Structure 1
């Protein structure tokens, strides 16, 4: 018999499909763990909800917070996943740092303030000027801060006597605040607002306890900070364990005029000049 001219067909290999529910679940779990590690030990997002840090930070600023500079505590870990006491790899913050921290009272909220006093420091405010370890911190009056009046940033004056007329320029309305430049003993300099002679402008002498810090907002008359006790709604002395991280960079900022269902308004509402600001 003659051999057949047609070759026998080769068997087709079946490709086993991978994936499915199990693989999707593994991927989502990996993504979740990566996000937890990123937010716990590297950077985390934070939105500025109030004007207590004007003029440096505005309502609607979104920034990344560096988690590594001060070490880690249970307040550094999101979603309440950690319960240990103390800090791991703890490092001392510096005067003048803009710090994000867990409010030390009953409210489960993150705050942002500037660190003014280290453990052992004496801090007092006299006539609106900080006296640090017995030495007055230089404060120089500079031009008024003109804040654009927008949907999320109204002209907020803490008392009627502090109110000042709005400024019109370039077809826009601005809120005017008295502004000063403050310089710490290290030479670190920044701007602060002082609206009027309020209760926070003259304080007793505070002695910062060991393991605690003294925090103040840059908008001095619109900040409940370490000058005020927790019973009065303030921060009091901040325990070191409550440090979360240091302000790093602004990655987005909005004036509040955008509508979620109108994506094109996200571009017009963005404060492009603030994006990329570092601290």
Structure 2
């Protein structure tokens, strides 16, 4: 009898330990840093498929979007952040909120699907954004652009989704070099980052987007392979993103895997450990 009680007590202690660990992890992920694995090539070459980073959730304060979603399709679990913290949605506001800066690489909740996206912040509230002949214009002024050679990668299936890159020298065969024009883009504030281009595409000429108060406009650095604010939500794009949907800022890549899983350590990219995101 005593032995059974002892075993029952040990099981209870194990369960309590697991619950406490999950609670601590949940609080840490909600308040401080959220892990994020780059699934697509929309932010190349700033971020590559397979980059693993922690999102700084303290950068912009907290909103309902700060609560983590728990999505495990294999076991039928789909708990959205709004299911947990939707009660805190109010007037597009934030607790301890601070304004993001143009040029920040931001993780945010898609306004319709609720899925986490990562893009570069291009337009602030009140801005007028337009793309003309592939050149970004902010409030009527084209940004600075400087040629910076060619970005080359292997044309092959990439990451767990098995997506293949788009190429300016395409079509090319499997295993061949896939090229894109690399340019350095300079924002009015003086911040710089690289963007990629494969030639004139449908979203290289747009109308003028007037960013409403309390909303932001995002674009991917891989300009011709990014679903972003240039495409309205009604057409499957991102559209304008409300302030409360910002999750945090991407500051640094912790490590990067070129394989189908981040657990395949032999595919880790040796030059991307603790690489700053700019």
Specify if TM > 0.5: yes
In structure 2, what is the Cα distance between the partners aligned to 1:127 and 1:259? 38
Task: Flag the 1:175–1:33 CA change in 2: closer, same or farther, 3 A.
Answer: same
In structure 2, what is the Cα distance between the partners aligned to 1:228 and 1:257? 29
Q: CA deviation at 1:257?
A: 5.5
Indicate yes or no: 2:225 matched with 1:222.
yes
CA RMSD of aligned residues (A): 2.5
Q: What is the match of residue 145 of structure 1?
A: 151
Q: What is the match of residue 156 of structure 1?
A: 165
Q: Tell me, yes or no, if the aligned pair for 1:250 and 1:276 is still in contact at 8 Å.
A: yes
Indicate yes or no: 2:53 matched with 1:63.
yes
Could you say what secondary structure the match of 1:213 adopts?
Answer: strand
In structure 1, what is the Cα distance between the partners aligned to 2:52 and 2:10? 37
Question: Unpaired segments of 5 or more residues in structure 2?
Answer: 1-5, 70-80
In structure 2, what is the Cα distance between the partners aligned to 1:117 and 1:89? 22
Q: Tell me, yes or no, if the aligned pair for 1:177 and 1:194 is still in contact at 8 Å.
A: yes
**From 113, 119, 122, the counterpart of 1:113:** 119
In structure 2, what is the Cα distance between the partners aligned to 1:234 and 1:223? 9
Q: CA deviation at 1:186?
A: 1.2
Could you say what secondary structure the match of 1:68 adopts?
Answer: coil
Could you say what secondary structure the match of 1:139 adopts?
Answer: strand
Indicate yes or no: 2:88 matched with 1:90.
no
Q: Tell me, yes or no, if the aligned pair for 2:61 and 2:98 is still in contact at 8 Å.
A: yes
Q: What is the match of residue 273 of structure 2?
A: 275
State the TM-score, normalizing by the size of structure 1. Answer: 0.83
Question: Unpaired segments of 5 or more residues in structure 1?
Answer: 1-16, 261-265
Q: What is the match of residue 73 of structure 2?
A: none
Q: What is the match of residue 3 of structure 1?
A: none
Q: Tell me, yes or no, if the aligned pair for 1:128 and 1:201 is still in contact at 8 Å.
A: yes
* Residue correspondence of structure 1 range 259-270 to structure 2 within 5 A: 266-270=264-268
Indicate yes or no: 2:256 matched with 1:253.
yes
> How many pairs are equivalent?
252
**From 106, 119, 134, the counterpart of 1:99:** 106
Q: CA deviation at 1:190?
A: 0.4
Q: Tell me, yes or no, if the aligned pair for 1:48 and 1:61 is still in contact at 8 Å.
A: yes
State the TM-score, normalizing by the size of structure 2. Answer: 0.83
Q: CA deviation at 1:147?
A: 2.1
Q: What is the match of residue 211 of structure 1?
A: 214
